[in-house]
Amino acid sequence: MKSEFLMLATAIMLQHVLVITCDRDQTEEDRGPLLSFMSGVTSDPNGVLHDWNSTTSFCNWTGVKCSNNSFTYRGRRRVAELNLSDASLTGTISPSICNLTFLAILDLSKNFFVGRIPAELGDRCSMLRELSLAANQLTGNIPVELGNLNRLIYLSLGSNRLDGGIPARFFCNLSSLQYLDLSDNSFTGMMPITNHCTLKNLRFLLLWSNMFVGSIPASLSNSTKMEWIDFESNYLSGELPAAIIAGMPKLQSLHLSYNNMSSHDDNKDLSPFFLSLGFCRELQEVEVAGNGLGGDLNHLPSKLQYTNIMQLHLEDNLINGQIPMEISKLQNLTYVNLSYNLLNGSIPPEISKLGKLERVYLSNNLLSGSIPSSFGEIAHLGLLDLSRNLLSGSIPESLSNLTQLRNLILHNNYLAGTIPAILGNCNNLDILDLSHNKLTGVIPVEVAGLSSLSLYMNLSSNSLQGSLPLELSKLVMVIALDLSSNNLSGKIPNQIGTSCISLEYLNLSKNSFDGVLPDSVGRLPYLEILDVAENQITGNIPDSLEKSTSLKHLNLSFNKMKGSVPNDVGVFASLSMSSFVGNLGFCGNFSGMKPCSNTDVNRQGRHHLIVILLIIIMVICIPLILRFVLLIVKMRSRFFFNGSSGAGELTRQTEVDHPRITYRQLVLATNGFNESNLIGTGSFGRVYRGVLRDNTRIAVKILDPVITGGEIISRSFKRECDVLKATRHRNVIRIITTCSRPDFIALVLPLMANGSVENHLYNNSGDQRRRTLNLIQIVKIASDVAEGMMYLHHYSPVKVVHCDLKPSNVLLDEYMTAVVSDFGIAKLVIADEGVSDTSNSTTGLLRGSIGYIAPEYGMGGEASTEGDVYSFGVLVLEMVTGKRPTSDVVLKEGHSTLQDWVKSHHPHRLDSIIDHDRRQLLFNRVISTVDGGDVELLCRDVLIELIEVGLLSTQLSPATRPTMIEVANMIGQCKQDLTRAVICSHMDENEPNSSSFF
């Protein structure tokens, strides 16, 4: 009996051991394929796979998610998702990844994988529902085996180097597919979508930028759930697919531009196509540009008036006839492009009823008549391009009502009359082009002083007269100025050369300017092209033109200039006689130019002798003058004393922009740089608050040579001074003055009453009155910072890359207006290329602060505007979530960055990103007592938009990040949405910081 019991116990024990061993082996069977996949990765610059060799469960490895109870057996868990998107991984995709037999989601997009797509994916990964290999460098054909993935819902292979045709059974077997992206590759042949291959569940089909030929398959009409079609930039032919589109009631976006398609009835009738679009009541975007389509627009309004169409791209076709007045029925239009067609007749005034219009392109047509004054009623219009038509009459003064107008382009028409002075009210203009018309009169001083112009002003080829207004000196940001081929006269103002410091192109040719060419023009730091031909300019060539390092083209021909022309200095070394012909007084070594005579040489010698004598006199006299001045100073100092110390100091009239503040005044203002006045410390020194005798509150930033070495500090100090003195913007810190001694270097800045964003996010100041920022304040701060950074990147006279954007470097004044500060490690960028002070670059310094540094900097990348966009994105996500980029919450969940943590919860788990308590704080003072629920929904939408801006800005690849112009527009829209919702009367005006609302 005992022996039988022992045998039974032994058998049970052995069975138990076998089960444990078997379970352990099967539990770990997914580890091998993962490690094998990792072996194919040759570069992991961000250390994404750093924990893949750990002894912990592979279910906790970065990018790996295991199944829940759905696929467990006796406690075993299997890999269900592998997401390594946007990780900068390099290598090949190992076929062993296909041994993860329970894999449902595989996302390796936005990396640098090379080689072919493993065919084994289609043979072994039968559970796959989502497969994304987009934005890599994969080559070869699509494996026909991928057609076996009959559970696949999402497939993205776009932006690779794939080629060949699409396998026929590929579409037939993927009947569950909802999203298919094969765009931006080199696929050829026809689309193999036949009648027996129905894709009834397909919603998104993206095939743009390939080499597909033939017509669009008629069987696509079975895809009645289709929302997005993008076949742009292929070689598709045949008639526009009216019958197919009519069967897609949920279609929102249709992109067929730049193919070889035609309209109905031998390319004469667009009405069947417009009729089919009318069945798509959710339609928002139609793009059929660049096909050479014929027909007219008569049936467009009636067929599309019941859709939600917002964007209409019909440019670069052969569309004829008039613009129908019924176009006003398309009430949701924000963008319309009808340029490069054969449209004729007048522009219907009814277009003003399209109140949401933002951009209008009607250029390169045969439009005639006058410009409707009703354009001035379209409040949101930001771009109006009517160039290259047959328009006549005057420029409507009503255009001055367009406060959001950025681009006004009216060149190559027959416009007459004077330039309306009231156009100077359009103080957001970036581009003003009125060239090649019949405009007369003088250049209005109001228009000449449009300081907002940041790209170009072109008034050439008109009949303008009079002298150049001195107000042109206000164009400090304009890159190109063309006033050629007019009847302008008088002298060229010296102020153009001293103030318009961003100019790269200046054309004043074919006028009647006289006098000498100002030397200051040659000193413009970025000037590349200067053309003053065919005027009455006299005098010698300014020395500054010889010394210019930026000048690439110069035309001085047909003037009355004289003197010797150099041929081996600067731009002159690359010029020919054509740049000087017509100036009888010139001499030099150019072919066809008279050589300089002895008289000319003697004259030049006398000139040089006079210069030398003047220098000698100055060397002798200046020391005597200085000693005399010092004597006067000593005599005056007896009557002016410093009341605190009795030490005499000279009292001077302070300058408006940069007043003189002495070291002693700073000592008194900060109570001897007392620790109680210390408001911040950083890698370059300390910041103290202080009050001057006139009660001006200041912040004194002292750069400490002991911390980082005197040489680096002096470079940093010079760089910050250069940045701050060259910039003028309400959202960029303003410099009061500087103070420098051999042992002391400081910047004097205005004191920001509300501290930094860092203080408000985490209350580091200890001031209990400072509360968590609410949503309105966050949106306003984000908008202010975006505007400031947009100015620094795109519109500042000296282009600036900040390199250290973070909450502590965003300061808040008494009105909670945000300003960008601390340019200690900034680089000044000239015209978006190169660095202005490369000799003093901070090589070896880390560009930014941990958590905000763009990933490309870690790989040795140069400082760039894209790096600032990345830091801005982190800042936005930090303000929204209230979590630092190095927060424990982020790190505990296995994410290396704040944006990765947010991305893992967005968009379906907003509550995990922003918990209930924080939402209450964010929505404080936003939700009114009226329709509170609706406002709360709006607040959630704004939060989501802010998160998406943050995620867009922090994309791994710099090329895919938006510019600060685009970011500022997105944030501005959020601000506008909240402005409409918040009712000021419901706000407590007695509450502190009440002025912080919009």
Residues 105 and 156 in one domain: yes
| Cβ proximity of 318 and 343 under 8 Å | no
pLDDT, tens only, 559-601: 999 999 988 888 898 888 899 999 999 998 888 888 987 655 4
In a domain, 152, yes or no: yes
Q: CA 111 → CA 37, 88, 107, 108, 904, distances in Å?
A: 14, 5, 10, 7, 18
- Indicate the pTM of the whole model: 0.63
The CATH code of the domain that includes 98 is 3.80.10.10
Q: What is the pLDDT of residue 730?
A: 83
Name residue 115's beta-bridge partners. 138
Q: Given a cut of 60, is residue 228 above it in pLDDT?
A: yes
Q: How confident is the model at residue 620 (pLDDT cuts 50, 70, 90)?
A: low
Q: 38-47, 393-402, 612-621 — which is least confidently predicted?
A: 612-621
Q: 223-232, 635-644, 826-835, 851-860 — which is least confidently predicted?
A: 635-644
Q: What is the pLDDT of residue 987?
A: 39
pLDDT, tens only, 156-184: 999 999 999 988 777 777 888 999 999 99
Q: Given a cut of 70, is residue 721 above it in pLDDT?
A: no
- Pick the last residue of a domain from 138, 164, 190: 164
pLDDT (mean) for 842-853: 58
Residues 621 and 665 in one domain: no
pLDDT, tens only, 63-103: 999 987 444 444 567 899 999 998 889 999 999 888 888 89
Q: Which residues contact 777 (CB under 8 A, 6 or more apart)?
A: 816, 993, 996
In a domain, 402, yes or no: no
Residues 784 and 909 in one domain: yes
% of the chain residues with pLDDT over 70 = 77
Q: What is the rounded average pLDDT for all residues in the chain?
A: 80
Give me the half-sphere count of Cα atoms (radius 13 Å) on the Cβ side of residue 8.
5
In a domain, 219, yes or no: no
Residues 579 and 621 in one domain: no
Q: CA 845 → CA 713, 716, 860, 862, 865, distances in Å?
A: 12, 11, 11, 12, 18
Q: Report how many domains make up the chain.
A: 5
Residues 701 and 554 in one domain: no
Q: Which residue has the higher pLDDT, 86 or 613?
A: 86
Q: What is the pLDDT of residue 757?
A: 87
Q: What is the pLDDT of residue 625?
A: 61
Q: Given a cut of 60, is residue 622 above it in pLDDT?
A: yes
Spatial distance between the Cα atoms of 112 and 211, rounded to a whole number of angstroms: 23
For residue 760 the two structure tokens come to 């408000």
pLDDT (mean) for 977-982: 64
Smallest CA-to-CA distance from 516 within 487, 540, 543, 533 is with 540
Residues 837 and 900 in one domain: yes
Q: Which residues contact 883 (CB under 8 A, 6 or more apart)?
A: 889, 890, 898, 901
Spatial distance between the Cα atoms of 880 and 892, rounded to a whole number of angstroms: 19
Spatial distance between the Cα atoms of 754 and 439, rounded to a whole number of angstroms: 52
Q: Which residue has the higher pLDDT, 874 or 670?
A: 874
- Helices 932-953, 775-790: axis angle to 10 degrees equals 30
pLDDT (mean) for 813-817: 83
Q: How confident is the model at residue 655 (pLDDT cuts 50, 70, 90)?
A: very low
Phi, psi of 138 (to 5 degrees): -75, 145
Q: How confident is the model at residue 618 (pLDDT cuts 50, 70, 90)?
A: low
In a domain, 400, yes or no: no
Q: Which residue has the higher pLDDT, 810 or 912?
A: 810
In a domain, 950, yes or no: yes
pLDDT (mean) for 116-123: 90
Residues 661 and 738 in one domain: yes
Q: Given a cut of 70, is residue 548 above it in pLDDT?
A: yes
Q: Given a cut of 90, is residue 679 above it in pLDDT?
A: no
Residues 850 and 957 in one domain: yes
Q: Given a cut of 60, is residue 846 above it in pLDDT?
A: no
Smallest CA-to-CA distance from 414 within 379, 448, 366, 453 is with 366
Smallest CA-to-CA distance from 734 within 742, 725, 743 is with 725
For residue 749 the two structure tokens come to 């800045």
The response to whether 701 counts as a known ligand-binding position is: yes
| Cβ proximity of 782 and 973 under 8 Å | no
Smallest CA-to-CA distance from 685 within 744, 632, 754, 623 is with 744
- Helices 775-790, 964-981: axis angle to 10 degrees equals 150
Residues 682 and 768 in one domain: no
The CATH code of the domain that includes 798 is 1.10.510.10
pLDDT (mean) for 503-518: 94
Q: How confident is the model at residue 717 (pLDDT cuts 50, 70, 90)?
A: low
Q: CA 7 → CA 1, 11, 14, 38, 832, distances in Å?
A: 10, 6, 11, 47, 84
**CB atoms closer than 10 angstroms to residue 565:** 23
**CB atoms closer than 10 angstroms to residue 492:** 24
Which active-site residues does the annotation give?
804
Residue 611's domain spans which residues? 602-629
In a domain, 939, yes or no: yes
pLDDT, tens only, 690-700: 888 877 888 88
Q: Which residues contact 199 (CB under 8 A, 6 or more apart)?
A: 171, 174, 175, 177, 193, 220, 222, 223
Residues 847 and 726 in one domain: no
Q: Given a cut of 90, is residue 441 above it in pLDDT?
A: yes
Q: CA 932 → CA 433, 928, 937, distances in Å?
A: 47, 5, 9
pLDDT (mean) for 632-653: 34
Residues 446 and 560 in one domain: yes
pLDDT, tens only, 886-945: 765 555 566 668 888 888 777 666 777 776 667 766 766 555 433 445 666 777 788 888
Q: What is the pLDDT of residue 428?
A: 85
Q: How confident is the model at residue 687 (pLDDT cuts 50, 70, 90)?
A: confident
pLDDT (mean) for 520-542: 92
- Pick the last residue of a domain from 575, 596, 617: 596
DSSP letter string over 771-835? ----HHHHHHHHHHHHHHHHIIIIISSSEEE-S--SGGGEEE-TT--EEE---TT-EEESTTSSB
Spatial distance between the Cα atoms of 295 and 297, rounded to a whole number of angstroms: 7
In a domain, 170, yes or no: no
Spatial distance between the Cα atoms of 238 and 215, rounded to a whole number of angstroms: 5
- Pick the last residue of a domain from 577, 596, 615: 596
| Cβ proximity of 209 and 188 under 8 Å | no
Q: What is the pLDDT of residue 8?
A: 44
Q: Which residue has the higher pLDDT, 745 or 714?
A: 745
In a domain, 984, yes or no: yes
What's the CA angle centered on 320, arms 314 and 325, to 5 degrees? 80
Q: Given a cut of 80, is residue 426 above it in pLDDT?
A: yes
* DSSP letter assigned to residue 344: E
Q: Given a cut of 80, is residue 266 above it in pLDDT?
A: yes
Residues 554 and 581 in one domain: yes
